[in-house]
């Protein structure tokens, strides 16, 4: 058996998330169906760096699987492309050591969130950008975003629905906000993320920009571990898992 590491991008609009579940189509299910066909009906389980929720997209999700097939490294991408829907694309595949693990070996992940801060909608980007039709003080948001960087307990920026019982301390190595016309791009990179963490961080920045919260909301929420101090949870469709590094 050999282990294969793949990088996949997908449009999550038509999926109930990445991870297989009883009711609803998922990205993992589609990839495993393609691999099952390649392995002549044999089940092949893939292990990803982590799951993405319903409507969330990926530019650089990583997964691995074990195979008994003798397929040249450069043939995997083409073979999988012919067997999968057009909104999922395996960008690269390579053989890796047997002890490589797509989930447990992750060093950092990068997420990006996109917001259109304008009165008018963009119908062609509606599944990729969150429309937030309010006037924003972007300068305040630029100041606030840097407060996420560093090692903090992000309990306040975690959904109450989380099943995680342990440590909620994470280290954010990069947090920045870029403005492109009426579109905002929030980039955040760290050694781990809690359930809905990026979406709550984005919601907090938007409420600061809209004048609903002050900049000191962020350090207060981090210090007090109080979910009510942080902002709302933005929708999933503006979020991208951008890159996973090992």
Which residues, listed in sequence order, are joined to residue 7 by a DSSP beta bridge? 62, 92
Which residues, listed in sequence order, are joined to residue 93 by a DSSP beta bridge? 6
Active-site pick, 11, 53, 87, 153: 53
| Dist. CA 177–CA 128, nearest whole Å | 17
- Within 10 angstroms of residue 27's Cβ, the number of other Cβ atoms is 31
Look up 216 and say whether it is catalytic. Answer: no
Which residues, including other chains, have CB under 8 Å from residue 227's CB and lie 6 or more apart? 155, 156, 157, 158, 160, 221
Which helix (H) or strand (E) covers residue 5, if one does? strand 2-10
- CA separation, residue 162 to residues 6, 52, 111, 194 (Å): 28, 14, 19, 8
H helices present in 172-241, as ranges? 197-209, 217-224
Which residues, including other chains, have CB under 8 Å from residue 82's CB and lie 6 or more apart? none
15 labelled as ligand-binding? no
Which residues, including other chains, have CB under 8 Å from residue 124's CB and lie 6 or more apart? none
Return binding residues for substrate: 111
Return binding residues: 111
Which residues are part of the catalytic machinery?
53
């Amino acid at each position: 058996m050999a282990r294969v590491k793949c990088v996949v991008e997908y449009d999550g609009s038509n999926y109930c998330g990445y991870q297989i579940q009883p009711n609803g189509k998922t990205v993992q299910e589609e990839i495993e169906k393609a691999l099952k066909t390649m392995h002549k009906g044999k089940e092949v389980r893939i292990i990803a760096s982590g799951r993405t929720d319903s409507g969330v997209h990926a530019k650089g999700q990583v997964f691995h699987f074990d195979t008994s097939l003798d397929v040249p490294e450069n043939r995997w991408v083409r073979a999988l492309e012919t067997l999968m829907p057009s909104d999922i694309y395996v960008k690269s595949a390579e053989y890796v050591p047997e002890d490589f693990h797509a989930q447990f070996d992750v060093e950092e992940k990068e997420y990006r969130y996109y917001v259109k801060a304008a009165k008018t909608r963009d119908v062609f980007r509606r599944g990729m950008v969150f429309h937030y039709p309010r006037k924003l003080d972007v300068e305040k948001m630029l100041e606030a975003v840097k407060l996420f960087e560093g090692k903090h307990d992000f309990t306040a920026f975690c959904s109450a629905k989380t099943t995680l019982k342990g440590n909620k301390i994470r280290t954010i190595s990069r947090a920045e906000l870029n403005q492109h016309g009426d579109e905002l791009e929030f980039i955040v990179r760290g050694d781990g993320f809690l359930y809905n963490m990026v979406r709550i961080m984005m919601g907090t920045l938007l409420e600061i920009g809209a004048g609903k919260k002050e900049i000191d909301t962020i350090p207060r929420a981090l210090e007090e571990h109080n979910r009510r101090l942080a902002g709302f949870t933005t929708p999933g469709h503006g979020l991208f898992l951008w890159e996973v590094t090992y």
